[in-house]
């Protein structure tokens, strides 16, 4: 593909990892013109981020791919600790949490990153989008009304593209972030280099995630990747001066040196990489008409499975805001809320990842490796944030507030039809949810907000009664006992003068 000169678009997305692909899917369904460029010649081929947290599964439900994700993966296996070729103990990696009326996906789902990206890519093509592989951003400049980027294509030709906005989803070494001079504050969370590889190994049981914490030279782990016939091998190098050898022979030797399996049991090495775990946060997520997302904005230790998921949710937060600005004339200032909301979330998630990594480095066992509710990202929210308006008083802290994730529930409409809330929320629109009230709802722009009259025990348990404005990314933006404050909050969000109306 040859880079075309002076091609205009509304959003240029740099990087076709999970973050960039999610954003492209969301923009495509909103009718926002965009280009998605990827320096590599294909999608990322490795398993690296293999866990999809419950909140990310909800995002993928909204994007129409959760069934494909579930078909492609599976639950996490029990962990098994080995010493001297003997299995000494087993434990559950995840605290058991069955689905509930308000949380349809109770546990993380294992899907290797390469497969998640394939599913997102397939969905993007269904929506009419594409990825420009082998296309690198090599320069950019900002102008008052947009960004001009220089792209170099797979044939070496260069060209420019002018976009209203540019989103950097180009990873921890982000070319865009460096070009803008945005600093990244962080630290190495582990001085030991780590080898990660996708391998096929004969004779290894697939019913456990195998761990050798006392292996000579450093920890080794071998995890069966759900939905595949491969394993993810992780080896930590703790001897001074020792570094991972990512060649097929080096991977085979690493497995044989740390486990009771032999090198010749490794029949294929599909992908291998080495890294040093870091935790780092960009100083800002917005610079004029450029926004940072995913690893370009925050770099995590893999402990806890937070990095990929946080990037997907960055994109989910940003997509609808870009849509409102570019398609519905909402002031550009709305995009400031992206940094205001997502930077504190990323900082909190980084603390979780770093703490979990440190715990595993100290000791490997049920206490350090079992994951619970804090990693599932269902509690992430924006209470007190710039777009959250809570107009009810006297609520207990554990009640639903503006800024919280809008829970699922089954019930019925006021005329008796069966209703599932996530079905009502699904799509690029806001949802005005009227629960257990006979007051006339405010009349909101039907091109932006769908009205849903709802009732039923599950719905009242989750929401109480009143009016709830649910954002396109599934968070409660405004909540009130009466309609007028919700209408005012919506008008404020859109940058329009509040108008009190009822319909």
pLDDT digits over 237-290, tens only?
A: 998 888 999 999 999 999 999 999 999 999 999 999 998 888 899 999 999 999
pLDDT (0 to 100) of residue 360: 63
Q: Domain check: are 161 and 14 in the same one?
A: yes
The range of the structural domain enclosing residue 205 comes to 194-276
**Number of structural domains found in the chain:** 3
pLDDT at 418: 97
Q: Is residue 381 part of a domain?
A: no
The answer on 301 and 369 residing in a single domain is yes
Write down which residue in 312, 347, 375 finishes a domain: 375
323 in the same domain as 238: no
Specify whether 254 is located in the same domain as 321.
no
Query: Is there a contact between 29 and 127 (Cβ–Cβ < 8 Å)?
Result: yes
- Degrees, nearest 5: CA angle 383-28-61: 55
One domain for residues 125 and 35: yes
> Can you give the pLDDT at residue 134?
98
CA 19/CA 124 separation, integer angstroms: 13
Does residue 206 sit in the same domain as residue 68?
no
Same domain, 38 and 163: yes
pLDDT of residue 363: 63
Q: Are residues 228 and 272 in the same domain?
A: yes
Residue 26 lies in a domain: yes
Please write down the long-range contacts of 411-418, taking CB distance under 8 Å and 24 or more positions apart. 411/454, 411/455, 411/456, 411/457, 411/458, 411/459, 411/460, 412/454, 412/455, 412/456, 413/452, 413/453, 413/454, 413/455, 414/453, 414/454, 414/455, 415/453
Q: Could you tell me the CATH number of the domain that includes residue 480?
A: 3.40.30.120
What pLDDT is recorded for position 496? 85
Q: Which residues of 78-89 are buried (b: 16+ CB within 10 A; e: fewer)?
A: ebbbbeeeeeee
My answer on whether 63 and 144 are in the same domain is yes
Query: Do the domain assignments include residue 237?
Result: yes
User: Which CATH number belongs to the domain containing residue 165 in this structure?
Assistant: 3.50.50.60
Query: Of 224, 246, 276, which marks where a domain is finished?
Result: 276
128 and 24 part of one domain: yes
The residue ranges of DSSP E strands in 213-316, in sequence order, are 220-224, 231-236, 266-275, 278-282, 286-287, 290-292, 298-299
Q: Please tell me the predicted confidence (pLDDT) of residue 500.
A: 46
Regions of the chain short of the pLDDT cut 70: 1-7, 187-189, 303-305, 354, 356-374, 497-503
Same domain? For 419 and 439 the reply is: yes
pLDDT in tens, 111-127: 999 999 999 999 999 99
Same domain, 256 and 332: no
């Amino acid at each position: 593909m040859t880079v075309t000169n002076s091609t205009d678009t509304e959003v240029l997305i740099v990087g076709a990892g999970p973050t960039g692909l999610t954003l492209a899917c969301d923009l495509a369904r909103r009718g926002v013109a965009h280009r998605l460029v990827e320096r590599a010649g294909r999608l990322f081929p490795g398993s690296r981020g293999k866990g999809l947290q419950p909140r990310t599964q909800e995002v993928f439900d909204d994007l129409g791919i959760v069934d494909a994700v579930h078909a492609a993966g599976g639950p996490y296996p029990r962990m098994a600790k080995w010493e001297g070729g003997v299995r000494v103990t087993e434990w559950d990696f995840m605290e058991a949490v069955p689905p509930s009326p308000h949380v349809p996906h109770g546990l993380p789902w294992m899907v290797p990153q390469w497969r998640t990206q394939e599913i997102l890519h397939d969905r993007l093509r269904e929506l009419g989008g594409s990825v420009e592989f082998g296309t690198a951003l090599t320069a950019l400049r900002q102008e008052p009304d947009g960004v001009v980027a220089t792209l170099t294509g797979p044939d070496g030709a260069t060209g420019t593209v002018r976009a209203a906005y540019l989103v950097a989803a180009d990873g921890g070494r982000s070319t865009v972030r460096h070009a803008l001079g945005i600093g990244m504050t962080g630290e190495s969370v582990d001085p030991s280099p780590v080898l990660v590889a996708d391998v096929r190994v004969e004779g290894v049981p697939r019913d456990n995630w195998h761990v050798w914490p006392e292996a000579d030279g450093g920890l080794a782990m071998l995890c069966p990747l759900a939905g595949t016939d491969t394993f993810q091998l992780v080896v930590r190098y703790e001897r001074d001066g020792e570094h991972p050898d990512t060649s097929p022979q080096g991977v085979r030797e690493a497995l044989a040196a740390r486990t009771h399996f032999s090198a010749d049991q490794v029949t294929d090495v599909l992908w291998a990489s080495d890294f040093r775990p870091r935790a780092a946060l960009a100083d800002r997520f917005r610079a004029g008409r450029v926004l940072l997302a995913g690893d370009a904005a925050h770099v995590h230790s893999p402990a806890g499975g937070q990095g990929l998921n946080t990037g997907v949710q960055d994109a989910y937060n940003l997509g609808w805001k870009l849509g409102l600005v570019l398609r519905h004339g909402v002031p550009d200032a709305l995009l400031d809320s992206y940094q205001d909301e997502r930077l504190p979330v990323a900082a909190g998630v980084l603390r979780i990842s770093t703490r979990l990594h440190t715990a595993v480095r100290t000791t490997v066992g049920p206490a350090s490796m079992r994951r619970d509710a804090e990693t599932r990202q269902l509690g992430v929210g924006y209470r007190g944030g710039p777009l959250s308006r809570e107009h009810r008083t006297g609520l207990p802290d554990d009640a639903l507030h503006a800024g919280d994730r809008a829970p699922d529930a089954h019930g019925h409409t006021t005329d008796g039809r069966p209703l599932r809330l996530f079905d009502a929320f699904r799509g690029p629109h806001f949802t005005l949810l009227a629960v257990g009230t006979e007051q006339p709802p405010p009349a909101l722009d039907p091109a932006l907000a769908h009205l849903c009259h709802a009732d039923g025990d599950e719905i009242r348990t989750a929401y109480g009664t009143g009016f709830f404005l649910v954002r396109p990314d599934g968070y409660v933006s405004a909540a009130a006992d009466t309609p007028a404050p919700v209408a005012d909050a919506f008008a404020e969000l859109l940058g329009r003068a509040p108008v009190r109306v009822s319909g």
